[in-house]
Structure 1
Amino acid sequence: MQLLQAFIALLVLFRSSASGVVVPRQSEITEDSYFYGQSPPVYPTPEMPGSGPWAVAYAKAVALVSQMTLEEKANVTVGHSTSTGCSGVTGSVPRLGWPGLCLSDAGNGLRATDLVNGWPSGIHVGASWNRDLAYQRALHMGGEFKTKGVNVALGPVIGPLGRVAKAGRNWEGISNDPYLGGELVYQTVLGIQTAGVITSVKHYIGNEQETNRNPSSNVSAVSSNIDDKTIHETYLWPFASAVHAGAGCVMCSYNRVNNSYSCQNSKLLNGLLKTELGFEGWVTSDWDAQHTGLSSTLAGLDVAMPNSSFWGTNGENLTLSVTNGSVPESRVTDMVTRIVASWYQMGQDTNFPVEGIGMPANYYDPHVTINARDPSSKPVLIDGAMEGHVLVKNTNNALPLNSPKMISIFGYDAQAPPANDIESASQVFGAWTVGGESILDYAGFFSPLPPPQIAINGTIISGGNGANSPAYISAPFDALNEQAYNDGTAIFWDFTSQDPTVDTSTDACLVFINAFATEGYDRVGLHDDYSDNLIENVAASCSNTIVVIHNAGPRLVDQWIENPNITAVIFAHLPGQDSGRALVQLLYGYESFSGKLPYTVAKNESDYINAGNPSEPEGIYELFPQSDFTEGVYIDYKGFDQNDITPRYEFGFGLTYTTFAYSDLDISLSPSVSTSCLPPSPENIIQGGIASLWDVVATVTAVVQNTGEVDASEIAQLYIGIPGGPVRQLRGFEKVLIEAGTSVTVSFDLLRRDLSEWDTGAQSWVLQQGQYGVWVGASSRILPLSGTLVIS
């Protein structure tokens, strides 16, 4: 089998390099062997449907594009660098007054400029489990992009999904669970695009590790080998949610999928995205992710960024491919129509700021700056920062703090970093110097050294590379100092010692550590000895030790979690610029913790089964690295359930300052539910897939009572056991504020999509006959209510 796989990999690489077209045996198309290089061809590229909510924008785009020459259309598809500070711009058509599009990073705020906010990162949004907050964050953040003249926000991120626990970019994504990620990316797309900015949802698809994500020398990029069922039920799921929300752009990823580069993989682009999901928008390459000209054109790529040696500087090679008959002109016309239609769809043809006018600051006028920060965003920033904190341990009523006489603060993560690179706070590679000496950017380590496991020189509010320059940083120590002033509390601190002296009169010891991650590198481990030793040394002398972890992904705690002197533990994630201010609100009980884990915290790295470590080139695959997703859909909590592994803290877990009780489960099935299989076809496809998949087929309700003495929000969670699938899958959640002593009824609508499985033979979603397990509770393993949904 290994020799066969190696042969297929070689054959696919040769064919991809030569023509980009891979023709498997017919059986490989119809059977579930879309795996190990079996990426079936899907041609031609479907033209933009231009239906439903896109009909008006489509008609306008057709009218404008019809006036363009072939050369003008080809020019639009090729990206260019720009002095305005945009990450890239498309070509323009000055003759017709079409300005082109400015594209800029990133998922937690606008990069490469000043006077913008540093928002909570994707993983922090996931930990909030709050749909409305996700929308409000996106709406305000999108407004900042628009104010600075940016047409396209390069985000949100839902790939990586989080299959690899050590993946360097998990912090940019929302959750390891496709349902939770899909629900919150839906709101994020709505919010940004309501502000009038196009979202470029990324990275499509299977981009689950940084190791070998790009080709280098004679080594190909890693191939994510994913079977048909898994790609539909797991990795494509949140992208379908984003498309259903109306996403105007999708960014294809660096990696290969089944040995075909993502940006020239016709199955992914033509087949899944533009046919099955009815995608109305356009596909851009990740920066320098285009590897062929003709193949990528025919496979469904619409824009090459940041330039194209294949299509030509101004698209002249693309023009030639039309004139010599290699590419039909209708394909180029569709590419441009999709791009221009998104411009109309977001209302960018009316009163949109000049391209990149605020990128960078002072570009057009050295005496004028453009402040994109709306004062109305303040409550969204602080609420977003608070709600992504997850309290996982709180013994002896260690929290909330109540005007302590003295607190002691330890750890490198407590204070603000010593420098903030305003040009790009995340640009950690390539020296940034003052006076010839390398300085620290806010990520917290010296450039250009490879990133360590921790950012030793200050608190982190986001991961590295892909983040923006915050307007300010409220560090934990700063906010605690202010609270101490108000309470008359004395503070002892030591940010540098690994074995600090502990004042015996202190009421509480707060230890601040972090787990850093960045684009370009996968994490070395899921814990580090330096931080663990610091915690153990403080706890040895302090009976009330509270640990705060700013983490860019799962972080193991079993080295010290059972120490009785460690009374409270907080996964603080990446809160954005209001980090310290938000934390103090929670520590002192002005607000209750309300976040829950959007991933599983294991007891050991090995508990993550196949998906703990990034795949490395080995043996016969040295030149063609392979990452076999043999665990299928069983990642994160689904894998822990399947293999009967007890986690330290399960997916969906989080404490508050009160307690909740669940009762009165009710399950009702819509009367007209049919289990008939409806394959995808142009007549029944809307944005996001088959129209009937979005029909409500069942409703589940339950009563949640606040049995404590503190008003707090609970995240009630619904899990479904689909016959033949994982033990349980998240299929609903509601975050509700419940006053002490009162009850609320939570309701979950189940869509046909939520109860269906992907049938590889029928090539469609199927609602099965039989019994579906139903559970409602506080986490994936705290499920006091259970019942059965019967579909006949």
Structure 2
Amino acid sequence: MRRFLSWQSLGIAWLLAPPSSCTTGLLADLQADFQDWTVAYNRSVAAVATLSDADKIRLISGQSVPSIGFEPLTSNDGSQGLESFFYVSSFPESSAMAQTWDPELIRAGFHAVGQEFYNKGYTMINGPTTGPQGRTPWSGRLVETLGQDVYLAGIAFAHATEGIREAGIIPCGKHFLLNEQETNRSEVYWIDNAVTVPRNNTAYSSNADDKTLHEAYLWPFYDGVKAGLGAIMCAMNRVNGSYACENPALLNQILKTELAFPGFVTPDTSGQHTALGSANGGLDFGAASFWNNQTLLAALANGTLSQARLDDMAVRNLMPYFQQGLDTKSPPPVRSATDPIDVRANHRALIRKAGGAAITLLKNTNHALPLARPRSIAVFGANARPSLIGPGTTMDDVHTHTTWPGHLVFSGGSGMGSPSYVVSPYDALLARAQADGTQMMWALDDTLPEIEYIAVTGTAGTSAPPTVAGYASAVETCLVFINAWSGEGNDRSELRSAAQDAMIRTVADHCNNTIVSVTTVGARLLDAWIAHPNVTAVLYSSLLGEQSGHALVDVLYGAVNPSAKLTHTIARHESDYPVPVCMAADCDFVEGVHLDYKYFDRYNVAPRYEFGFGLSYTTFGYSAPVVGDADEAALARRGATGVLAPGGKVDLWDEVLRVGFTLTNTGSRVGAEVAQVYVSFPNEAAQPVRQLRGFKKVFLGVGEEKHVVFSLRRRDLSYWDVGSQEWVIARGQYRFYVGASSRDLRGDVVFIVS
């Protein structure tokens, strides 16, 4: 959680490893079309040519360089809004934004976040985040990411990047790469505002083969680089034995050459370990305790660091600076956290809209929702009320909690928000009850104290026994609010809560219209109560930010028709998920590319709710799909042949065919459907049973129909060929499925590539 990119006091040189030779990844050697980075590249090269080597070292270690008027970039976490400040907004977590499946809403949300950063004096945001990708549901930071499918995450990552850039600041994508858990992520403890102390174990090594790395983890970074990431944060962990921030194969070859990334690589906290190992390994920005005149000038003199590599590091640090026009802007200075600089504008309206669009309807028996002026309701659960202390760092707890004793609107560490206030479900329900004349009762904890109750005035109405069962029996509608918590620093220890599940069962045993709202950082198992006949409706969402209560009540009462879809699979049992948290020094990714629903499909494991699932208050019909506009000439070429540019070879992004169908609103309400297309590949590609390769959120009036067209790009039909080290199109039968989820498939069509 860095505030300024100035590292004089943060690095500790545990060892000075011998450097590896740097022969790739230099911008000057890259035969690439820099596209809209060309002007920034030329200006950066010209500026660096005027600098002494000592000034270049100052530049790459976050210090002022007066000769070119350069001041260090300022950065902060995170994608859900600035941390620790007064007068800023607390936005939905990235996982909530992904659950909207609405690219333009994602762009708008991240643009608003970027505006608040800039107006508080920051020139770079540590985000957006697409890693961890979701190897294990126990991963503690999935709440900060963009869903457990690489295609969905890539589209969201690109639009988030564009939104931040349009706000005038630098997006720093993270975490690169294979940063799939918090346990043993570093060989140090991170305490006391980034002061570190030694630990007795080493950072785990994520060991993945080349195909897995490319298809299951690298994919979204192609999207981010193409969309204009100016910086990328390398992770704390090791990748195939080498630290991610000192890994020439990962940074120089894959990121900077294969993806033609033109910006700079910056380390996560404690990610840099040695001076020359990091410089030659692909890191571009680092700590002055590692990179200084004593270490780097000496390395230049003895040939262990090349002049070309130092120049490249300096150029890369200037590239996003010029690209974003920061040399011509005058951002306000970073102020103290409580200075009365109000940057919120009317972002509360956007936050409420995004929150409503991020709530998935999982169950709705007999049209229990939307509510229509219920005569009496009882509200249960700690997640319905505000935390006892708030709203800020009291929730930035990375060690102990599995649930949160209050309404959960952000997570911990880099996922922490800074709301000026929090609208809890109770607050929003109270306002609605006042307007509707509804009788309310409430029991705002997950467990109630055992007390002896002696009725003096009777046991009916507001004198009902003050127990969960007593209050549930007294009203016609029961609303239960639960949550699941995690945050940076620790992984999850449970995917269900015994106390919360017992509360739900008790309510449902005594109330025949029990509606459950789940606010969760990731997969939360529901099988302890989901089949109870009195559980009539279930809402499921990530953490929705400061307007969370309003967003939930908008959906509960029908002001918003739910349209969100799951971005991960909800299993029936913990054992249905194949990968636990790795406790060893070496974590072998033996499951390969079969993450989340791809594993469930391969091994025919029945989920409780599948990836992409989500109901609406209306219904939709799908016509049979058809393939059209196939570019036979492009499909005849197995590999991409275009010029290299940021994001890979340019023709990877070319449309090669279309899949179309007609979508109809067959219900009685205006609504939106997220139509999805999944692809099965020919056998030679060795791909999952099906994988997402397109989606569109389509808004339809009652009885309205629209023709929906999915444009599939070369990369969408390609697999990573390890032998040729290229993305190639397979020969044989492709099958395209359209539907409402990864298992609710309404039609399919075959296309042969010959």
TM-score (norm 2): 0.91
Question: Separation in 1 of the partners of 2:704 and 2:73?
Answer: 51
Question: Separation in 1 of the partners of 2:749 and 2:571?
Answer: 28
The corresponding residue for 1:626 is 586
The letter for the 2-side match of 1:145 is F
The answer as to whether partners of 1:414 and 1:495 remain within 8 angstroms in 2 is yes
Among 281, 285, 302, the alignment partner of 2:263 is 281
Greater alpha carbon shift after TM alignment, 186-195 vs 210-219:
210-219
The letter for the 2-side match of 1:200 is C
How far 1:193 moved relative to its partner? 0.5
The corresponding residue for 2:216 is 234
The corresponding residue for 1:5 is none
How far 1:95 moved relative to its partner? 3.3
Question: Separation in 2 of the partners of 1:323 and 1:104?
Answer: 36
After superposition, residues 633-712 of structure 1 pair within 5 angstroms as: 633-668=593-628, 669-678=630-639, 684-712=643-671
Among 658, 669, 677, the alignment partner of 1:718 is 677
Number of residue-to-residue matches in the alignment:
703
Question: Separation in 2 of the partners of 1:355 and 1:77?
Answer: 21
After superposition, residues 266-665 of structure 1 pair within 5 angstroms as: 266-304=248-286, 307-312=287-292, 316-356=294-334, 358-362=335-339, 369-375=340-346, 377-420=347-390, 422=392, 424=393, 426-428=395-397, 450-456=399-405, 458-466=406-414, 467-496=416-445, 497-498=447-448, 500=468, 501-609=470-578, 611=579, 613-617=580-584, 625-665=585-625
TM-score (norm 1): 0.87
The answer as to whether partners of 2:732 and 2:753 remain within 8 angstroms in 1 is yes
The corresponding residue for 2:23 is 43
The answer as to whether partners of 1:311 and 1:318 remain within 8 angstroms in 2 is yes
Question: Separation in 2 of the partners of 1:412 and 1:673?
Answer: 57
Question: Separation in 1 of the partners of 2:66 and 2:391?
Answer: 36
Deviation digits for residues 94-123 of structure 1, max 9, x if unmatched? 233111201111121111322111011011
RMSD: 1.7
Among 153, 163, 184, the alignment partner of 1:181 is 153
The corresponding residue for 2:193 is none
The corresponding residue for 1:221 is 203
How far 1:463 moved relative to its partner? 1.4
Greater alpha carbon shift after TM alignment, 225-234 vs 46-55:
46-55
Question: Separation in 2 of the partners of 1:291 and 1:270?
Answer: 17
Which secondary structure state, in structure 2, belongs to the residue aligned with residue 656 of structure 1?
A: coil
Deviation digits for residues 472-499 of structure 1, max 9, x if unmatched? 2111000000000110111100113345
Which secondary structure state, in structure 2, belongs to the residue aligned with residue 145 of structure 1?
A: helix
Which secondary structure state, in structure 2, belongs to the residue aligned with residue 674 of structure 1?
A: helix
Which secondary structure state, in structure 2, belongs to the residue aligned with residue 504 of structure 1?
A: helix
Distance change (3 Å), C-alpha of 1:464 and 1:348? same
Deviation digits for residues 388-429 of structure 1, max 9, x if unmatched? 11110110211110001110000011011122255x465326
Deviation digits for residues 287-337 of structure 1, max 9, x if unmatched? 121011111101110012xx343224xx54223322332211221111111
Question: Separation in 2 of the partners of 1:394 and 1:297?
Answer: 56
Deviation digits for residues 672-701 of structure 1, max 9, x if unmatched? 223434478xx7211111111101000011
Unaligned runs of 5+ in 1: 1-14, 22-40, 79-89, 363-368, 430-449, 618-624
Question: Separation in 1 of the partners of 2:278 and 2:68?
Answer: 28
Unaligned runs of 5+ in 2: 1-13, 189-198, 449-466
The answer as to whether partners of 2:16 and 2:275 remain within 8 angstroms in 1 is no
Identity of aligned residues (%): 39
Which secondary structure state, in structure 2, belongs to the residue aligned with residue 413 of structure 1?
A: helix
Deviation digits for residues 570-623 of structure 1, max 9, x if unmatched? 1121111110011111100111011010000000111111x2x11012xxxxxx
The letter for the 2-side match of 1:127 is Q
Question: Separation in 2 of the partners of 1:556 and 1:426?
Answer: 23
Which secondary structure state, in structure 2, belongs to the residue aligned with residue 502 of structure 1?
A: helix
Question: Separation in 2 of the partners of 1:171 and 1:406?
Answer: 34
The corresponding residue for 1:734 is 696
How far 1:721 moved relative to its partner? 0.5
The answer as to whether partners of 2:24 and 2:257 remain within 8 angstroms in 1 is no
Please say if 1:121 is aligned against 2:104.
no
The answer as to whether partners of 1:425 and 1:468 remain within 8 angstroms in 2 is no
Question: Separation in 2 of the partners of 1:218 and 1:17?
Answer: 19
How far 1:149 moved relative to its partner? 1.2
Among 116, 126, 139, the alignment partner of 2:111 is 139
How far 1:739 moved relative to its partner? 0.6
Greater alpha carbon shift after TM alignment, 67-76 vs 772-781:
67-76
How far 1:383 moved relative to its partner? 1.2
The answer as to whether partners of 1:45 and 1:299 remain within 8 angstroms in 2 is no
How far 1:354 moved relative to its partner? 3.8
The letter for the 2-side match of 1:228 is D
The corresponding residue for 1:61 is 44
